[in-house]
């Protein structure tokens, strides 16, 4: 069983549920392997007349350092049964371990962008924009107090969705 390529406009399901409740993995190339990080903040839509995805990555994360240098990333979504693996990828650092190996994921690449073969939905994205999200960009002080008491702010990364793969 493999993947079928579809158009971004053919993706079904609720991204509020996929991202916020089920979570997703952000995949970036790290040296010759994959760096995987669980994320639950982001979205998808149309930007600059193209299908786009956007993610928020804290500056302290290895994924942030990698995204500053790489040209793209993947967003992968999973069915039931992967919560433990997603928990590992969200709580451990790629600086300390190979998370794909620890989770038993099989890494594949689309060009230089990694994803895992266990995913049900894969968005391959080419980085098109970035914006820092610092305290001056947040209009509601309770957000700064509630989410950034450690001053570890996010940066927003915007990717054009160049390929969508779904499980056959």
- pLDDT > 70 in the chain, percent: 99
Q: Place 52 in a pLDDT band, splitting at 50, 70 and 90.
A: very high
Other residues' Cβ atoms within 10 Å of the Cβ of residue 36: 30
pTM tops 0.85? yes
C-alpha span between 109 and 121 (Å, rounded) = 14
The region that residue 6 occupies, defined by phi over 0 for left and psi between -120 and 50 for alpha, beta otherwise, is: beta
Q: What is the mean pLDDT of the chain?
A: 94
**Polymer length in residues for the chain:** 168
C-alpha span between 19 and 40 (Å, rounded) = 5
Q: Place 1 in a pLDDT band, splitting at 50, 70 and 90.
A: low
pLDDT digits 0-9 by tens, 108-154 = 999 999 999 999 999 999 999 999 999 999 999 999 999 999 999 99
Q: What is the average per-residue pLDDT within 20-46?
A: 93
Phi and psi angles of residue 40, each rounded to the nearest 5 degrees, phi first: -135, 15
């Amino acid at each position: 069983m493999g993947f079928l390529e579809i158009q971004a406009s053919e993706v079904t399901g609720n991204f509020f549920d996929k991202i916020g409740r089920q979570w997703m993995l952000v995949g970036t190339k790290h040296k010759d392997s994959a760096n995987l990080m669980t994320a639950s903040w982001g979205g998808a839509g149309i930007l600059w007349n193209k299908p786009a995805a956007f993610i928020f990555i804290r500056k302290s994360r290895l994924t942030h350092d990698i995204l500053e240098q790489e040209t793209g990333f993947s967003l992968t979504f999973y069915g039931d049964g992967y919560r433990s693996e997603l928990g590992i990828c969200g709580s451990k650092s790629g600086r300390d371990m190979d998370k794909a190996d620890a989770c038993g994921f099989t890494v594949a690449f689309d060009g230089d962008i990694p994803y895992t073969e266990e995913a049900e939905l894969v968005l391959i994205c080419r980085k098109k924009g970035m914006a820092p999200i610092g305290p001056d960009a947040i209009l509601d002080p309770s957000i700064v107090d509630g989410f950034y008491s450690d001053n570890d702010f996010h940066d927003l990364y915007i990717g054009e969705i160049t390929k969508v793969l779904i499980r056959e």
